[in-house]
Structure formats: C-alpha cells, structure tokens
Amino acid sequence: MNYHTRKWVKPEDLNPNQSLFGGKLLQWIDEEAALYAVIQLENKKVVTKYISEINFVSSAKQGDIIEIGIEVSAFGSTSLTLKCAVRNKMTHQTIITVERIVMVNLDEDGNPSPHGKTKVEFVKDRLNNSL
Ligand SMILES: CCCCCCCCCCCCCCCC(=O)SCCNC(=O)CCNC(=O)[C@H](O)C(C)(C)COP(=O)(O)OP(=O)(O)OC[C@H]1O[C@@H](n2cnc3c(N)ncnc32)[C@H](O)[C@@H]1OP(=O)(O)O
C-alpha cells in the first residue's frame, strides 16, 4: 500500500461527536481513487462504479494528520479495482479500510471503454521512456 496523500483534520471536517465526519473521509477517498485511476489509465474521464463494504475502524480528531493509501487489486478490461486504507500519520493506527473500489474508464460519449492497461505504471518511467 502506497500512502500518497496527507490530510489535516480541521474544525469543518468534524461531526457532532467532534471526530472526523465519515462523509468527508469518503469524499477524500473517492477523490484519491479517481485521481489514482486518472493517472494510471491516462484518461480524465473515469468514474466510480462500485465501492464495497467500508469498515470505520477508529476515528480521527481535530488536528490529526491522516494519510490515504491506495493499491491496485486488479486491472479489468474497462475497470480498475483499487483497495484503500486510511491511517493516522503519526501512530499508523488504521482509521478506515475499503476492500474494493471499482473505477471505470469512459470514452468521449461516457460509455465504458477498454483502457489497455495491465500493470501499475509510474509517471517518472513514462517520462524517461518518452525521452
Ligand atoms: C479539464 C478537467 C481536468 C480534470 C482532471 C482531473 C480529474 C480529477 C478527478 C476528480 C474527481 C472526479 C470524481 C470522479 C468520481 C465520481 O464521483 S464519478 C460519479 C459517480 N459515478 C457515476 O456517476 C457512475 C454512474 N454509472 C455509470 O455511468 C455506468 O454504470 C458506467 C460506469 C458507465 C458503467 O456502465 P455499465 O453498464 O455497468 O458498464 P459495464 O460494461 O457493464 O461494466 C463496466 C465495468 O464495470 C464493472 N462493473 C459493472 N458493475 C459492477 C459492479 N456492480 N461491481 C463491480 N464492478 C462492476 C464491469 O465488470 C466492467 O469492468 P471490466 O470487466 O470491463 O473491467
């Protein structure tokens, strides 16, 4: 699992229990998964198709730094299946896990389109290969 993104839990991110609002966390996860898929599939037209069971393991509070991890579970024909975990940056305590997030690659008309990818690629390698 690679943890790419850090977030700082601010007052506006809290629920009435003064812990991190679950909906805010899911928004951050969806955005992270979409960005990851856009970069991997090299296509800006990617949508979230399916999010599996979500396990809120522990909570975060104001001032906590959290980090969002994503890894690829599977490359499909038009889809990319991701796994996600969010943890406290300082303690590494798990906050949430999402087993499966299915992102679908779309064509210009918004229909599923084969992405042709089979393995994780790194931008630095793409740049080196294009030299
Ligand atoms: C200039 C601008 C710069 C911007 C540059 C930066 C961008 C930075 C992004 C920021 C953030 C963006 C935000 C995006 C993230 C949202 O929020 S997207 C919004 C929410 N999602 C939607 O609106 C999607 C609505 N659903 C749909 O439109 C249609 O269901 C879809 C996605 C087109 C798929 O249609 P479908 O008929 O189900 O298609 P189908 O061919 O049957 O299946 C397609 C694939 O999905 C899989 N699948 C279908 N159903 C399921 C299921 N229930 N479970 C698992 N897999 C399934 C299939 O197995 C298939 O995969 P492959 O076998 O081909 O690999």
**From ligand 1's centre to the CA of 75, what distance in Å?**
14
**From ligand 1's centre to the CA of 80, what distance in Å?**
9
DSSP 33-82: HHHHHHHHHT-S-EEEEEE--EEE-S--BTT-EEEEEEEEEEE-SSEEEE
Our answer on whether the CB atom of 109 is closer than 6 Å to any ligand 1 atom is: no
pLDDT tens digits for range 60-88: 999 999 999 999 999 999 999 999 999 99
Whether 32 and 3 have beta carbons less than 8 Å apart is answered as: no
Cross-strand pairs, 2: 70
Whether 35 and 97 have beta carbons less than 8 Å apart is answered as: no
Atom of ligand 1 nearest to the CA of 111: 33
**Residue 7 predicted with pLDDT over 90:** yes
pLDDT tens digits for range 35-54: 999 999 999 999 999 999 99
Triad 67, 71, 75: Cα angle to 5°: 150
pTM of the model: 0.93
Banded model confidence at residue 130, pLDDT cuts 50, 70, 90: confident
Q: Round the average pLDDT of the chain to a whole number and report it.
A: 96
Q: 99 φ, ψ to 5°? A: -65, -45
